[in-house]
Structure 1
Amino acid sequence: MDPLASLRQLIQTHPLIDNHAHNILSRAAASDYTKYPLEQIVSEAQGVALNNATSTLPFHRAAVLLASLYKCSSSDWNQLKAARDQLVQHDYEGLIRQCLEGTHVLLLDDLLTDQDVESFDWHDRFTASRTKRIVRIEALAASVLSAIVREGSVPARFFDMSDFQALWERFSRHFSARISEAITDSAVVGFKSVICYRTGLDVQATDGEDTKPLLQSFARTISAATASTPRVEDKPLNDWLVRQTLNLLKAAKTTPQPNKPLQLHTGLGDNDINLLRSNPAHLQSLISQYPEVDFVLLHSSYPYTREAGYLACVYPNVYLDLGEVFPMVSRDAQESIIRESLEIVPTTHLLWSTDGHFFPETFWLANKQFRDVLEKIFVDYVRIGDFTVEQAKQAAVDILFYNSSRLYDLYEQVNYESTLSGVNSLSRLPQADMLQAFIRSNPDVKYIWMQFVDYTATVRLRMFPILEFAKIARRQRRIGICVAVLWMMQDDSVAGGSTTGQFYMIPDLSSLRRNVGMDSKSATVMTWWKTEGGEPLEECPRTTLQSITNKLQDEFDIKAVCGFEVEVVLLRPTTDPSTGEEDWGAATTNHSWSQMTRETRRMLPLLEEIAETLASIDIHLEQFHAESAPGQFEFILPPDSPVAAVDTLIKARQVITCVAEQHGLRATLHPRPYPFAAGTASHAHISISPPTKEASFLAGVLHHYQSIVAFTLSGDASYDRVKSGIWSGSEWVAWGTQNREAPIRKISAGHFEIKSLDGLANMYLAMSAFLSAGYAGVKQDRPLTAKDCRHDAATLTDVERSALGITTKLPTALCQSLDALASNETLQELLGPNLVKNYIMVKRAESEKLNAMDEKTRRKWLVERY
């Protein structure tokens, strides 16, 4: 694909996070143009002034676009409204779905109004991820005032301030409590102030010795308020609301809470705004006083975009939102605003939003116009050499998606392959459309491998000419697999079960990637297992992991993210001169952790080729380095949602193995190929967000850990690493902050590393077991009795371990962990009793087979398969 064409495609199709929007009108109110004039789509004007909106350039541009949306032959305004009324009447949700196409998640300020709009969570049906809430602090303050006024306790006399002191203390206490509750609410991702409208952005200090002005401000406000429509618009009080919110957000930084920025309306607004005081330059002092809190300057700060850009440039806690001006200003103005924003603002500090409200068309027009303008500007910058294509793509996806995901701690990911390379298309497309996009971008690919991972962690596959695979993707053909696979071992012998019946492999095209590092015109795709009737098969490892991931999200609003470290030992083929027997020996011997020796330097071409080959299919390593054992290296993969992260791990291992083979080497995952050196792990990082349930989650993991290791240490050879002193997690069930001799290393709030894990594991099942145990802990609200262990628990006395709540040893053999799993009803229920029964059957048979071999034969057998 032409690089500029791939850039255009990415900008036009990559999912977006709308970081500031409002509720959509209900169907009953959607055509009430008297109360909600449709002209407000393109104008901030109100009343008589709004009549002039139909003669503006933004209006005429919007009318043409709306004609295409409504499939109307004319852009005449009356005809457009008539066409719209038909859509609202017959398929309002269909119109909304079309207008929100490509929106991954909405961050809603749902306190714009409490009338005629759909509820906060109603919007979930139109987005890929759950809607999040932005709390408007002035509306929250008004609700607290309203409750006080309804009780009728407001003094009749205004001149005696002492009469208002108790009410002020009550108000400030209740307001602070409501803000604090919102800070801990997982549905809330940020706060917003409209102080720009009320009293201006020159927020003054309110915590000095003289509290009289603040009390007078409160007295004026509550005296003028009514129970139904209190309005907070008195400067000292408004300033206090902002500063108190900032103080509470600052204090929350000392607790394991997700980041929650403060959004501020700046610049463009309704006619009740003071345009001079809407300049974000007024905020400079406030921003500098709260470096711990992130500020989002909404609405491009137009017409003060450059002033806002300066703040976002020089303060690391300032972000510039590019919303609202789309579609409120002309095309030229939109281009100018984006170019001004790019003058000095880091592209990592630019956010996208629609400020969509009431009418779904506000979302559609904003998104469409923004993508068009962003495409034009970025293509221009690439053509003149200011951006490379790769830099432009990274900036585009950051602005559209990842900056908001990071800033608001959303932990959102999308399966959009090739954000940098343009290889694949959008995962939310229908499967056949995704395949066609892949074929267009990769015309040399002739074959597709449909892959799955069995219970022995063997990757198995079927290969299809691409035309035959297209039939499978279009559901015109099904691929049946004998159910005996559920009991199959590495050499195709079967541990038990039946040979009658089959399940069907369904390709997941979000995992489709080219095969690289080998001489093949092919690509691989992972699969789901389905029953004859098309239902998910309980025994499918990928389905199991997706299911528990969904349960955490749906029941507790906990989002899980995984990332993996790939450790391999590179071996050279050797031959025993006395017997002629072939074996494997270390590729490097003058070798140590993170060191560049003479032998390690000779491996650089191979290591860099691995990194570049992975990058060519959009797997971008975070780092790689020499590990401790001879010939051992580690490659760290980026985080992703659990299933996608394991898919990437499987693909990365394939690439590493194939590139090594091109150099005459074997890359093995054997857990401990040398008894005299450190073992080889496959450590996993798991984050849960928000981390507020981490204690019960961790308690569940520790409680079930002996059963979990049946999946994470899934071979007898795995237990050669359950030893103290080799940085593999040592010998006791424990956790510790940054403790590499604990099975679970806590890295930060909600972020853990699993040390008891290696390359013999079916990683879909290993992650399923870990997340299921954590889910069970949260479900049962299990208390965390084990304390933070800062030492190797094996070096402590029994008394010292007991004081830390460390009472259980890790299994030292596979049979012990399988016995624990066989008696663990909780994990069996969560993972599926049939899956657990079959898994145990296979692993016991595998253990028996391997233990019948001598040590040398067993080592070679594992090295050649893993």
Structure 2
Amino acid sequence: MDDCTSLRHLVQTHPLIDNHAHNILGRDVATDYDSYPLESIVSEAHGRAMANASTTLPMLRAVKQLSELYGTPTEDWNELVEARNRWVKDDYEGLVRRSLEGTHTLLLDDLLTEDDVEAYDWHDRFTTASTKRIVRIEAVAASLLTDLMGSERKPDETVWGLFRQRFLDAIDNAMDDPAVVGFKSVICYRTGLDVDPYSADEEALTASLYRTLDSGTRKSGYRVEDKPLNDWLVQQTLKAITFKKAARVVKPIQFHTGLGDNDISLVKANPAYLQPLIAQYQNADIVLLHSAYPFTREAGYLASVYPNVYLDLGEVFPMVSRDGQEKILRQSLEIAPVNRLLWSTDGHFHPETFWLANRQFRQALEKVLIEYVQCGDLSSVQAETAAKSILFENSNRLYQLNASLNDKPSSSYSLPMSVTRTKQAGNPSHDQLDTILQKFPDLEYVWMQWIDYTATLRVRIFPIAEFVRIARKQRRVGISLAVFWMLQDDTVLPEGSTTGQFYLEPDLSSLYQNASMKTSASSATIMNFWRSEGNEPIDGCPRSTLENIVQKLRTEHDVEALCGFEIEVIFLKPRRDAEGRITDYIAATENHSWSQMTSETRKTIPLLEQIHQTLASMGINLQQFHAESAPGQFEFILPPAKPLAAVDILYAARQVITAIADEHGLRATLHPRPFSSGAGSAAHAHISINKVERESSFLSGVLTHFPAIAAFTLSQDASYERVRSGIWAGSEWVAWGFQNREAPVRKIGAGHWEFKSVDGVANTYLAMAALLAGGYIGLSSGAELKVEECTVDASKLSSAELAELGITTPLPKSLSDSLAALDQDEALKYIMGPRLVSYYISVKQAESKRLMAMSPQARRIWLLEKY
């Protein structure tokens, strides 16, 4: 028989993530048993049926266990209530703290009620990590209807049209909110789980909305319980989840299933009804709540055959007897994969609901797992792994919490030095800063970075106490306006000004820990916006320029874009003279070819794996990496994200690659073509848009303005050494083709393109802004795509063949050509910002003049060491 001592200890003490719960009552109403009966801790009954709860096995068991919690041995309910009231009066927070002991993170559906309960972040003081939110979509819809019926409408606006847009915006905002980790639907209570996977037509949805409005008033509120409308809410949420998952933003949706009060249709609470919906949205993660009791086996079956389905084991603890709980747990394990089982308390109102659920679940889990070990179905190690997965790891992974068992309890956390953590209510940036400081409690320095027009990464380093002051707008960081006209060696152009300054405003969402930096202290990097004296966005800020164009696409065309990058980098070995000075660089691997493992590339595996593992520790998950064509060249493919975040990820990843290469005695270069033979290095950019029906206009705009866009995407004279036919660099003509790697624009799928004329020496914020600006211009003018698909290398076609396909524009052959095209492209200049374009052209012309005055070898070494 296996020794189960270690298993028992682990099950009873391992920190847990509660993946579904609700807010706790405030102290003032915690003993208002008329509104919040204490018997509800073990029963979903209401009214007269609640009187019978005192005779159930769950209640009798709870009384015995609660008497231990209160320190008052008794089997009498009235005595128990008196003991409980004393706790509430004397030390309510102590009762809450004890009830939540062992809880690492709470995920709260905080829309159960807005009255009488504490705010979601109030719970932080009792848990290790910050509480996260689960957004209940029906509550969002009801709130929007109340607001809508209390506001005036324009003559051309309809109730349905306004509601539709506001609901979609609310879901999109929740997807972007770092405090929100998922959604929840109670459609089970409203119209049942037989959700139609496909939307009704506009007429039916409008009628459904009006029926909903007829059933309530603005004063009483609106209960959303008309099937076409309820189904639509679920469908739209699943669509948003699916779209965002492509950008590695994973926010599951939870469905109430099974166990509920008498307001539920028990028959339609069976999760089997969800099967068509699950099959339709297989890229959306779905959590079946409450053990689906009494349909646990059906839920387990769905979790076993659909990779996007998870089974929550909550609510039956403490609502069901001990035997029932153990049977439910066994039924869950009959067929469902262990990595698809999640724990929750469904704790709500009374803190004891959390304590009872956690205690009883640990007891049941210990008993069931030990039985499986003793009968030989599991080894003790396998049982311990299962326990860790269910209690912590599955939820941590699914909700992308990035929680660590080494996290310090938030209640004991304090900032370094004398900085205070006073949270300013209603200020998301302060909440976000608190989250960062809790996640990285040992952080000592923050590197505030920005990218100038020469694509030089510049940095200021601040001790954490000073950075907190900056993030909370208690002080500002001024940067000379000379940056607008500055070259890599800090030379300022004659037309530049050294008078005046702009201010760095840290974008907290861009912070990454410096996991690859060999420093003695913990540090992080963060990107910044440029702000004016009046704290307004300043013309010429690369990040603001990109964000503004993304916003214009969203608000004017309802277009959301995702971006992703392929980092091509060449690892070089330095050559040194007798004094140790670097005289040249050679490829780190010579026996090298595309996607091949040679004797030399095999030696780079530790380097490549270290890069991947470091990025993963930062939350940047590479999709793949492999050898590219040139000697020493490798490619790292990053995940898609929203444009600004995608570029932030790109720069964070490049810093890791460079730092780790340096550890190995190598130089990682982004030089477009460091060797005259073979392929060059690019930074292929992927863009996808959600409005695939308008992809032709978007693409037409990009192609029309491509010569001017190239001034930002191919921003060095060396960039044009790569624009050659026959080396998979995009050839020499402005063209596009489906899966054509010898076209500058490769169409990959509906609304998804790869832009090959981008490289690593560009300011990528500006490069992506220019590409999206071209698409925006095309959408705004309703441009018709006149360039037809090219299936070959366009440079191999005759003039007649090019003309037949509408391919009439060659790619610029030099930086001066693309800068001239930019200077003449009034539409692109207007969208990018005339001031920015003017500064940019001046800087790039002066930079080019200086570099082209060098010898080819000196220029090559200079670029290798800068980029």
The TM-score bracket by the shorter chain reads: 0.5 to 0.7
1:834 aligns with: 835
Cα offset, 1:744, TM superposition: 1.9
2:600 is aligned with 1:599: yes
Query: Residues 528-677 of structure 1 correspond to what in structure 2 (within 5 A)?
Result: 528-575=529-576, 582-677=583-678
Task: Please give the alpha-carbon distance, in whole angstroms, between the structure 2 residues aligned to 1:865 and 1:789.
Answer: 37
Q: Give the aligned residue type for 1:479.
A: V
1:513 aligns with: 513
Could you say if the C-alpha distance between residues 348 and 832 of structure 1 is closer, same or farther in structure 2, counting changes exceeding 3 Å?
farther
2:421 aligns with: none
Could you say if the C-alpha distance between residues 642 and 389 of structure 1 is closer, same or farther in structure 2, counting changes exceeding 3 Å?
farther
**Which residue, out of 170, 174, 177, partners 1:124?**
170
Q: Is the 8 A contact 2:731 2:795 kept in 1?
A: yes
3-state DSSP class of the match of 2:786? coil
Cα offset, 1:792, TM superposition: 2.0
Q: Give the aligned residue type for 2:296.
A: R
Cα offset, 1:269, TM superposition: 5.0
**Which residue, out of 319, 327, 349, partners 2:309?**
319
Cα deviation 1:247-272 (Å, max 9, x = unaligned):
x99xx9xxx99999999985335647
Task: Please give the alpha-carbon distance, in whole angstroms, between the structure 2 residues aligned to 1:140 and 1:276.
Answer: 11
Cα deviation 1:228-279 (Å, max 9, x = unaligned):
89xxxxxxxxxx999x99xx99xx9xxx999999999853356476746754
CA RMSD of aligned residues (A): 5.9
Cα deviation 1:542-585 (Å, max 9, x = unaligned):
22223333333444443333222221111112258999981111
1:170 aligns with: none
1:472 aligns with: 470
Could you say if the C-alpha distance between residues 50 and 458 of structure 1 is closer, same or farther in structure 2, counting changes exceeding 3 Å?
same
**Which residue, out of 449, 453, 456, partners 2:454?**
456
Cα offset, 1:711, TM superposition: 1.2
**Which residue, out of 242, 248, 259, partners 1:268?**
259
TM-score (norm 2): 0.67
Q: Is the 8 A contact 1:312 1:349 kept in 2?
A: no
3-state DSSP class of the match of 2:200? helix
Task: Please give the alpha-carbon distance, in whole angstroms, between the structure 2 residues aligned to 1:400 and 1:530.
Answer: 34
Q: Give the aligned residue type for 2:306.
A: P
Task: Please give the alpha-carbon distance, in whole angstroms, between the structure 1 residues aligned to 2:405 and 2:687.
Answer: 25
Size of the aligned set, in residue pairs, is 724
Task: Please give the alpha-carbon distance, in whole angstroms, between the structure 1 residues aligned to 2:844 and 2:775.
Answer: 24
Task: Please give the alpha-carbon distance, in whole angstroms, between the structure 2 residues aligned to 1:696 and 1:585.
Answer: 45
Task: Please give the alpha-carbon distance, in whole angstroms, between the structure 2 residues aligned to 1:722 and 1:629.
Answer: 15
Cα deviation 1:350-399 (Å, max 9, x = unaligned):
7999999xxxx899999999999999999999996315979986622443
Task: Please give the alpha-carbon distance, in whole angstroms, between the structure 2 residues aligned to 1:552 and 1:354.
Answer: 42
2:708 aligns with: 707
Task: Please give the alpha-carbon distance, in whole angstroms, between the structure 1 residues aligned to 2:571 and 2:406.
Answer: 29
Task: Please give the alpha-carbon distance, in whole angstroms, between the structure 1 residues aligned to 2:644 and 2:791.
Answer: 32
Could you say if the C-alpha distance between residues 850 and 288 of structure 1 is closer, same or farther in structure 2, counting changes exceeding 3 Å?
closer
Task: Please give the alpha-carbon distance, in whole angstroms, between the structure 1 residues aligned to 2:484 and 2:406.
Answer: 37
Q: Is the 8 A contact 1:564 1:684 kept in 2?
A: yes
Q: Give the aligned residue type for 1:497.
A: G
3-state DSSP class of the match of 1:476? coil
Query: Residues 33-112 of structure 1 correspond to what in structure 2 (within 5 A)?
Result: 48-49=48-49, 102-103=132-133, 107-108=137-138
Q: Give the aligned residue type for 1:534.
A: N
Q: Give the aligned residue type for 1:606.
A: L
Q: Where do 5+ consecutive residues of structure 1 fail to align?
A: 22-32, 76-86, 142-174, 192-224, 230-239, 402-415
Cα offset, 1:810, TM superposition: 1.6
Q: Is the 8 A contact 1:301 1:308 kept in 2?
A: no
3-state DSSP class of the match of 2:644? helix
Could you say if the C-alpha distance between residues 767 and 343 of structure 1 is closer, same or farther in structure 2, counting changes exceeding 3 Å?
farther
**Which residue, out of 191, 200, 205, partners 1:179?**
200
Could you say if the C-alpha distance between residues 555 and 590 of structure 1 is closer, same or farther in structure 2, counting changes exceeding 3 Å?
same
Task: Please give the alpha-carbon distance, in whole angstroms, between the structure 2 residues aligned to 1:829 and 1:385.
Answer: 62
Q: Report the more deviating stretch, 386-395 or 428-437.
A: 386-395
3-state DSSP class of the match of 2:385? coil
Cα offset, 1:708, TM superposition: 1.9
2:500 aligns with: 501
Could you say if the C-alpha distance between residues 41 and 727 of structure 1 is closer, same or farther in structure 2, counting changes exceeding 3 Å?
farther
Identical positions, percent: 43
Could you say if the C-alpha distance between residues 794 and 103 of structure 1 is closer, same or farther in structure 2, counting changes exceeding 3 Å?
farther
Q: Report the more deviating stretch, 375-384 or 728-737.
A: 375-384
3-state DSSP class of the match of 1:179? coil
3-state DSSP class of the match of 2:829? helix
Task: Please give the alpha-carbon distance, in whole angstroms, between the structure 2 residues aligned to 1:347 and 1:534.
Answer: 51
Task: Please give the alpha-carbon distance, in whole angstroms, between the structure 2 residues aligned to 1:507 and 1:620.
Answer: 23
Query: Residues 346-495 of structure 1 correspond to what in structure 2 (within 5 A)?
Result: 346=337, 385-386=384-385, 395-400=394-399, 430=431, 432-434=433-435, 436-437=437-438, 439-440=440-441, 442=442, 446-495=444-493
3-state DSSP class of the match of 2:715? coil
Cα deviation 1:611-658 (Å, max 9, x = unaligned):
333334333322221110011111222333322322222122122222
Could you say if the C-alpha distance between residues 809 and 611 of structure 1 is closer, same or farther in structure 2, counting changes exceeding 3 Å?
same
Q: Give the aligned residue type for 1:524.
A: A
Could you say if the C-alpha distance between residues 727 and 102 of structure 1 is closer, same or farther in structure 2, counting changes exceeding 3 Å?
same
Task: Please give the alpha-carbon distance, in whole angstroms, between the structure 2 residues aligned to 1:73 and 1:575.
Answer: 67
Could you say if the C-alpha distance between residues 177 and 481 of structure 1 is closer, same or farther in structure 2, counting changes exceeding 3 Å?
closer
Cα offset, 1:46, TM superposition: 6.3
Cα offset, 1:490, TM superposition: 0.7
Could you say if the C-alpha distance between residues 726 and 631 of structure 1 is closer, same or farther in structure 2, counting changes exceeding 3 Å?
same
Could you say if the C-alpha distance between residues 318 and 418 of structure 1 is closer, same or farther in structure 2, counting changes exceeding 3 Å?
closer
Task: Please give the alpha-carbon distance, in whole angstroms, between the structure 2 residues aligned to 1:431 and 1:257.
Answer: 21
Query: Residues 837-856 of structure 1 correspond to what in structure 2 (within 5 A)?
Result: 837-856=838-857
3-state DSSP class of the match of 2:734? coil
2:292 is aligned with 1:302: yes
Task: Please give the alpha-carbon distance, in whole angstroms, between the structure 2 residues aligned to 1:588 and 1:226.
Answer: 68
3-state DSSP class of the match of 1:629? coil
Could you say if the C-alpha distance between residues 735 and 271 of structure 1 is closer, same or farther in structure 2, counting changes exceeding 3 Å?
same
Task: Please give the alpha-carbon distance, in whole angstroms, between the structure 1 residues aligned to 2:658 and 2:573.
Answer: 13
2:366 is aligned with 1:345: no
Q: Is the 8 A contact 1:137 1:241 kept in 2?
A: no
Could you say if the C-alpha distance between residues 38 and 517 of structure 1 is closer, same or farther in structure 2, counting changes exceeding 3 Å?
same
Task: Please give the alpha-carbon distance, in whole angstroms, between the structure 2 residues aligned to 1:289 and 1:448.
Answer: 45
Could you say if the C-alpha distance between residues 620 and 749 of structure 1 is closer, same or farther in structure 2, counting changes exceeding 3 Å?
same
2:770 aligns with: 769
2:70 aligns with: none
Task: Please give the alpha-carbon distance, in whole angstroms, between the structure 2 residues aligned to 1:366 and 1:523.
Answer: 40
Q: Is the 8 A contact 1:17 1:103 kept in 2?
A: no
Task: Please give the alpha-carbon distance, in whole angstroms, between the structure 2 residues aligned to 1:803 and 1:392.
Answer: 64
Task: Please give the alpha-carbon distance, in whole angstroms, between the structure 2 residues aligned to 1:776 and 1:355.
Answer: 50
Q: Give the aligned residue type for 1:665.
A: L
2:69 aligns with: none
Q: Is the 8 A contact 1:394 1:419 kept in 2?
A: no
Q: Give the aligned residue type for 2:713.
A: T
Q: Give the aligned residue type for 2:629.
A: S
Cα deviation 1:260-310 (Å, max 9, x = unaligned):
9999985335647674675456888x7999898989685456214532344
Cα offset, 1:739, TM superposition: 1.7
Cα offset, 1:116, TM superposition: 6.5
Query: Residues 139-154 of structure 1 correspond to what in structure 2 (within 5 A)?
Result: none
Cα offset, 1:417, TM superposition: 6.3
Task: Please give the alpha-carbon distance, in whole angstroms, between the structure 2 residues aligned to 1:390 and 1:517.
Answer: 32
Could you say if the C-alpha distance between residues 739 and 105 of structure 1 is closer, same or farther in structure 2, counting changes exceeding 3 Å?
farther
TM-score (norm 1): 0.67
